[in-house]
Each structure stands twice: as C-alpha cells, then as structure tokens.
C-alpha cells in the first residue's frame, strides 16, 4: 500500500516533507546540535577571569522515508546536495549541506535512509 496524504493532517514531523534534488522525502526524525567552544580567560596568575563561547557550525541528522512503488524510486541523497527547510515556527528555516548518507532500508511500499548535514554558511 502506498503512502497517501488525505486532508490537512501532516505526515511526519514539522520539518517534513523535505525536497532534495527535486525528490520529496517524508522526514521521520530530525535532530540538530547547536554547539560552542569555551575559551577561558585567565589573568597573569592563571586565575580565571571569565570565559567566552564561540559558536560552532550547526550540524544535524535526519531519517527520511520515500516511496519504493513508483517508477522513479527515490535514491539516497548524494553527498554535497543542498536542501532548505521551512517550518511554521522558523526554528530551522535554513539551507543545509549533506555530509553523509546511509544505505536504504525498505519495508513494504517505502524505504528509509539516514542523512547527516550541516548549516550552510553562505
């Protein structure tokens, strides 16, 4: 049985669906990491005066679902491909670059794969 959407109920999470290289994927899960490096500032005696946080690149991963019963079965996204997200809360409205992609797993009429990505700077 193919996955179909009926009405206004979204299938997947808020960042779904994702379009990568003109192929639409249902986003089953999405995780982003907002990290920073801490740089300690010491006086001449080595006593801590404070610290500064330097933001790092935002990275993440997602599990994507796609249909396997169509004539144009969706491939696993390629490394270096860009995609954009647009959410209702604006949290992840950005452009991302794919850095890793897993082998696909299939079950019935759909397959899924996992991708890793980072926030594109420019």
Q: For 36-56, give one letter per residue: b (16+ CB within 10 A) or e.
A: eeeeeeeeeeeeeeeeeeeee
Token duo for residue 26: 């249902």
Q: What is the pLDDT along the chain (122 residues), one digit of tens a residue?
A: 455 555 554 555 655 678 888 888 888 888 889 889 999 999 999 898 999 999 999 999 999 887 765 555 667 888 999 998 876 666 667 899 999 999 777 777 778 889 999 998 87
Q: For strands 105-107 and 23-33, give the pairing.
A: unpaired
In 3D space, the residue among 69, 67, 59, 66 whose CA is nearest the CA of residue 98 turns out to be 59
CA distance 65 to 93: 21
pTM of structure: 0.72
Note the pLDDT tens digit of each residue in 38-68: 999 999 998 989 999 999 999 999 998 877 6
């Amino acid at each position: 049985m193919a996955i179909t959407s009926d009405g206004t109920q979204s299938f997947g999470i808020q960042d779904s669906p994702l379009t990568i290289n003109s192929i639409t994927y249902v986003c089953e899960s999405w995780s982003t990491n907002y990290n920073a490096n801490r740089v300690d500032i010491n006086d001449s005696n080595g006593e801590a005066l404070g610290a500064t946080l330097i933001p790092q690149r935002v990275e993440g991963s997602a599990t994507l679902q796609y249909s396997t019963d169509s004539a144009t079965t969706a491939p696993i996204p390629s490394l270096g491909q860009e995609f954009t997200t647009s959410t209702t809360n604006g949290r992840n409205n950005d452009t991302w670059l794919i850095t890793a992609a897993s082998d696909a797993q299939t079950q019935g009429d759909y397959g899924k794969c996992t991708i890793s990505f980072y926030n594109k700077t420019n």
